Amino acid sequence: MKRQSLDGMESRMGPADVVRPLTDALGAADMALNYYELAPGDSFAYGYHAHDAQEEVFYVQEGAVTFTTAEGDVEVGAGELVRFGPGEYQRGVNRGDERVVALAMGAPQDAGDTEIIRECGACGEPTRQRIEMTDDRDAIVTLCEECAAETGRFD
Ligand SMILES: [Zn+2]
């Protein structure tokens, strides 16, 4: 058995105000687990994305999350859960005024290839993206795979 308190845990840099990575903290062997707090405008993810080999479940504890999906936008409110299968594209964003508190679970732990799509201003269309840490390690950027333009900066 392993216990972990969210209090005092370091938050990871990224598209969410608070991410507490619980996978290693709990020694989880087969699943990925992250605790999130999204300020208005924040997201769980760097872009519209799909994991080749991993299903994901989100439990929204507070606030409401709008998921962009292949079937359109879906709002998931406090007390609700949503599940995406491997290969299903989605991105959850806090479009409300309230802070979101949520737990994200993924299995298996190794998500396989992850394809990320973001709007590229230079290309004028949504393109595939890669994620990189800046050289001074003070931010994570998303870069267009077509033209290498920076499409987002997260710190
Ligand atoms: Zn581009």
Do the bridges between strand 90-93 and strand 18-21 make them parallel or antiparallel, or are there none, so unpaired?
unpaired
pTM over 0.75: yes
Ligand 1 centroid – CA 129 distance (Å):
9
Ligand 1 centroid – CA 103 distance (Å):
32
Domains, the chain, ordered by start: 10-112 (2.60.120.10), 115-155 (no CATH)
Instruction: Return the pLDDT at 155.
Output: 87
Ligand 1 centroid – CA 61 distance (Å):
36
Ligand 1 centroid – CA 86 distance (Å):
26
Ligand 1 centroid – CA 94 distance (Å):
25
Please report, in tens digits, the pLDDT of each residue of the chain (155 residues total): 999 999 989 999 999 999 999 999 999 999 999 999 999 999 999 999 999 999 999 999 999 999 999 999 999 999 999 999 999 999 999 999 999 999 999 999 999 999 999 999 999 999 999 999 999 999 999 999 999 999 999 98
Instruction: Return the pLDDT at 58.
Output: 98
Nearest residue to 48 (alpha-carbon basis) of 67, 31, 29, 26: 67
